[in-house]
Amino acid sequence: MQKPNPPQMHNAITIAVSSRVLFNMEKEQQIYKQRGVEEYIKYQEEHEQQPFSPGPAFSFVKVRHDQEEDAEKELSTPHCRALEAVNARLRELYPDSEELFDVVLMTNNKAYVGLRLINTINHHQLAIERICMTGGNSPIGYLKAYHANLYLSADPVKVREALEEGIAAATMFTQEKMAEVSEIQLRVAFDGDAVLFSDESERIFKAHGLQKFFEHEKTHENKPLDHGPLKGFLEALGKLQKKFYEKGHRMDCPIRTFLVTARSAASSGIRALKTLRSWGLEIDEALFLAGAPKGPVLEKIRPHIFFDDQMFHVEGAAELGTVACHVPYGISQRVTKKGVMDKDTSPAHE
């Protein structure tokens, strides 16, 4: 089967992923920390033909099969990849469309180490043609050159740098449990405040308490919230969804979006929904939890990826198998009791 041409960068929705979230490189990272860069490079070269196992971003790029399949069967299996499933449907409806998902691997490894990464990409048959290897330098400066709509990394420092550059970004963590996800529909879940929206309302809550927060939202319910760091990514998803809607595929669209927020529907949900409407954005499902834990709801949704600004919700979702990402933005940034946010802030090879 002939590979389709990769999407054009200026038209594609580009997901930039670091090597340490696409693949499991925990062992190699420990070698780098404990034995230094030269031993790290030597180890990578010696294991060049040994592919990495999947990391937390893997299901976002490619849905895993329950059983091992030969290469020919995997290539012919429809909808075996999350992003590729969307691309395949788009190509059916719009043969000449260049508005497709594209994945770029970003790594600050040297090119010698990159050979193992390329071998791993080929082993898992991932649709990744663009790789940025920066040889020890930060890849953040290249994100805009690659027209990145979203950057996923295991390094919170790099994620913050990307956010400061105005690029949607989030930190991903290796987790023990990962739930099975849909093979025919890409599902993306967002928190509201400090993710899709600004942290304006959270600041009121932190400074003046819950009652003042409710009063503020009621008096400002017709004033749209300012945008948060991931609004642009939701816009990009919505742009693709509309292409399916225009062809009569609203009910079986292969992209589904979710707002999963701690807001109460009656007390503060109106402003959130009116804000989305003012932006011209649709959200498929809105779940207002009134402060309840998000993990059980996300376990039911089974999104490929979930974004939240509070580590409490990220950890709770991850414990139940959801691939949850932390967006280090806004007033609610706190180090958890486990120290998750700061456990790996040393220079990293991604």
Q: How far apart are CA 56 and CA 54, in angstroms?
A: 7
- Mean pLDDT of all residues in 316-337: 80
Confidence of residue 51 (pLDDT cuts 50, 70, 90): very high
Q: How far apart are CA 313 and CA 211, in angstroms?
A: 22
* Domain-wise residue ranges, the chain: 13-171, 186-342
pLDDT tens-digit readout, 292-326? 999 999 999 999 999 999 999 999 999 999 999 99
- For domain 186-342, give the fold: Rossmann fold (3.40.50)
**Minimum mean pLDDT range among 26-35, 193-202, 340-349:** 340-349
In this prediction, what percent of the chain has a pLDDT beyond 90?
Answer: 57
Helix, strand, or coil (residue 49)? coil
Q: How far apart are CA 308 and CA 28, in angstroms?
A: 28
Q: Which residues contact 251 (CB under 8 A, 6 or more apart)?
A: none
- Reply yes or no on whether 284 is catalytic: no
166 - beta bridge partners? none
What are the structure tokens assigned to 200, written together? 């304006």
Q: Which residues contact 108 (CB under 8 A, 6 or more apart)?
A: 133, 134, 135, 136, 137, 138, 139, 348, 349, 350
DSSP calls for 249-269: -STT-SEEEEEEESS-IIIII
- Mean pLDDT of all residues in 277-289: 96
State pTM to two decimals: 0.86
How many Cα atoms occupy the beta-carbon half-sphere of 272 within 13 Å? 30
Of the residues 102, 155, 191, 309, only one is catalytic, namely 191
**What is the predicted pLDDT for the residue at 1?**
43
Check: CB of residue 260 under 8 Å from CB of residue 247.
Answer: no
pLDDT score of 5 more than 70: no
Confidence of residue 342 (pLDDT cuts 50, 70, 90): very low
**What is the predicted pLDDT for the residue at 135?**
84
